[in-house]
Chain A
């Protein structure tokens, strides 16, 4: 099993072939999506009609490229906006949570910690409808009582942001907590001993130590927000983020335009993820 255990050649070959096959299985769908982004045909399917860049830069029907397709560009903009808001919010709350659980022992701490983990084991779609239901209850109550129309609480970007934030915060908390646990408290005490105030000590010693985790949490939160589907589906209004816009397109029938968008998405997330890895190695 492990290298120090002598094994027959056949065993090692079969095992190696299995692992190879596994990685083919992982890579195949993505490779196919990427390749057909360059098919000079209106279907992302065989036969291969030749190579074209039109699905990226084309501006004439039927081959309108990504960069000339308003709806897709708008959806990308919406996704970036939502992602940025969600990441920023969950980073702030996640950091605060991490400090709370790391630094304070209080009654109900265990219960709160389990509650904090719960969003991970609630199906996304249930999270979506519960927030939808509650916000409608509030909005309806406000209308009945004072005839206020709280537009923000109707399906739309605000709800999408809140919905994604509600479970991405848990992940941000876990990422930041993991690093905060490795922090040596005596470093902070040393800073206090050298004349820093409590906040200054945290700002000058603890936060720089946390920086890789903060960047990591931000990127992970952004990616998760960008590709979230289930929660968003229940809360979306007229401004659709990219995944929803693509889903609607896909239901109508697919064209290599979707492949082109997908390829850009792959490149974008890879670049983000690699940046994060490089940053954390430093």
Chain B
């Protein structure tokens, strides 16, 4: 490299390194170290696995962890199943102005805060809410119905909150599928389901993976929706982290929880990429 470009290189790489090292790498290393620390006396600490042992010994912690993982996977699957036909409609059936209008409509709800969206669902679902009122007015129930504070309500909120991140990558990949390819599938004798199975879905895999990764991440790390829409029994792992850090002030245990959440999400993202033969670079570039 010439002297000029060398200087340029150093100037460009410095902010990147500062950002990644100071805000991403070291804090996570520090978090990992903290999670391995046990308080043995006043101001005295030792390295141990005590926090992880606590996690394994306390059924509530382990149960919440597994439940959160399963529910996040479920939310991702539901989002995909609901979003796919809509994405296909936007990408391949709608044309011209209708197409761009529908796409824009999909984006609109996500320009506003997640808090507002969750608030909307609370107004709809609670005992004094609109749906309860509607059911009474229709005579389907005698008294108010509480639809808030349970897993179903939480799932509705999680799916709603993540929908955009599924629809956008799906629409992008489906749009890149040439109509001729689909027509060729029919021309050679294919039926709707076989064309979907052999042509459309294989083509959409990068979009499906990108969308699923983001939705899974968002669901797993969500705090607001489980807190506001979920019930007493539907504890979310992020709520445990929050309470250890802010309420109980047990940072060591909280750090262990945080680290476990990170490992869980990394493993599932990695597995998803491995299974479908995608890479993070390609997937996130398209999202």
Interface residues, chain A, with chain B CB atoms under 8 Å away: 1-5, 15, 18-19, 22-23, 25-30, 32-33, 36, 43-46, 92-93, 96-97, 99-100, 103-104, 106, 110, 112-126, 129-134, 137, 162, 165-166, 169, 174, 198, 223, 226-227, 229-230, 233-234, 242-243, 246-247, 250, 254, 258-259, 262, 265-266, 269-270, 272-273
Contact = CB atoms under 8 A, between A and B. Distances in A.
A166 B23 contact: yes
A266 B265 CA distance: 31
Contact of A125 (B8, B25, B182, B223): B223
Contact of B179 (A4, A242, A250): A4
Given A126-B258, A169-B19, A227 B224 contact: no
B186 A5 contact: yes
B113 A134 contact: no
B49 interface: no
Given A26-B106, A258-B119, A262-B119, 14 more contacts: A1-B93, A15-B85, A19-B102, A22-B82, A26-B109, A30-B116, A44-B123, A46-B128, A123-B217, A125-B221, A130-B28, A223-B111, A234-B246, A254-B122
B27 A262 contact: no
Nearest to B228: A250
Interface string B229-242: 00000000010011
Interface in B98-119: 102, 105-109, 111-117, 119
A93 B16 contact: yes
Nearest to A115: B20
Given A104-B9, A258-B119, A129 B31 contact: yes
Interface in B241-284: 241-242, 245-246, 251, 254-255, 258-259, 261-262, 265-266, 269, 280-281, 284
Nearest to A34: B120
A262 B89 CA distance: 30
Contacts of A115: 20, 24-25
A121 B128 contact: no
Contacts of B82: 22
B26 A112 contact: no
Contacts of A110: 281
14 contacts: A115-B25, A116-B16, A121-B266, A123-B220, A125-B241, A125-B242, A125-B258, A126-B258, A126-B259, A174-B284, A198-B4, A233-B242, A262-B119, A273-B107
Interface in B180-200: 182-183, 186, 192, 195-196, 200
Give the interface SS of chain B, mostly helix, strand, loop or mixed: helix
Nearest to B105: A23
B60 interface: no
Contact count band on B = 35 or more
B150 interface: no
B192 to A, nearest CB: 6
Chief secondary structure at chain A's binding surface: helix
Contact of A254 (B108, B119, B217, B224): B119
Interface of B: 4, 8-9, 11-13, 15-16, 19-20, 23-28, 30-31, 34, 82, 85-86, 88-89, 92-93, 95, 102, 105-109, 111-117, 119-124, 126, 128-130, 133, 160, 163, 179, 182-183, 186, 192, 195-196, 200, 213-214, 217, 220-224, 228, 238, 241-242, 245-246, 251, 254-255, 258-259, 261-262, 265-266, 269, 280-281, 284-285
Most buried by B among A22, A223, A270: A22
A258 B117 CA distance: 12
Q: Name, among A110, A113, A122, the residue most crowded by chain B CB atoms within 10 Å (CB to CB).
A: A122
A28 B124 contact: yes
Given A96-B16, A262-B119, A126 B262 contact: yes
